[in-house]
Amino acid sequence: MSGIKETSTNYANKQALADECAEAYAANIIGGQWALVICSWLLHGKLRFGELKKLLPNITERMLTLQLRKLEASHIVKRTVYAEVPPRVEYELTAIGYELKPIIKGLEEWGEKHKLIAF
């Protein structure tokens, strides 16, 4: 992934789990505080960096960059840079990224349902 230490037990555990459990593998990829929500917004269509930032009011630019980079590295979002000034960069889901749609919807519905039960 990004700066994770390849000598740590944690790294070894993640690898082992991901190897034998595709759902753990998937969770590693779309895990992280903002990844799912970013994908959720991108399901509606392309968005620029600044637009995403507005949609996720409390995210810092650093976190947004990190998450987008991670999603890009996982082939879930595609990044397009336009050679303009000021710069314009657009993010959109790839095909495999778009296939997260039913999962995100599922989580959404499950979450709504769970909220009712939990309180």
Binding mask 56-95 for a copy of itself (x = CB under 8 A): -xxx--------------xx--------------------
**Residue 60 engages DNA in binding (rule: CB under 7 A):** yes
Contact at 8 Å (CB) between 93 and 77? yes
Assigned token pair, 106: 């599922």
Please give the size of the binding site for DNA, defined by CB under 7 A. 35
b (16+ CB within 10 A) / e for 37-71:
bbbbbbeeeebebeebbeebeebeeeebebbbebb
Query: Given candidates 15, 25, 48, 94, which one binds DNA under the rule CB under 7 A?
Result: 48
The torsion angles phi and psi of 102, rounded to 5 degrees, stand at -60, -35
- The answer to the question of residue 62 lying near DNA (CB under 7 A) is yes
Q: Of 5, 81, 86, 112, which one interacts with a copy of itself (CB under 8 A)?
A: 112
- The one-letter code for the residue type at 98 is Y
The residues binding a copy of itself (CB under 8 A) are 9-10, 12-14, 16-17, 21-27, 29, 31, 33-34, 36-37, 40, 57-59, 74-75, 96, 99-100, 102-104, 106-115, 117-118
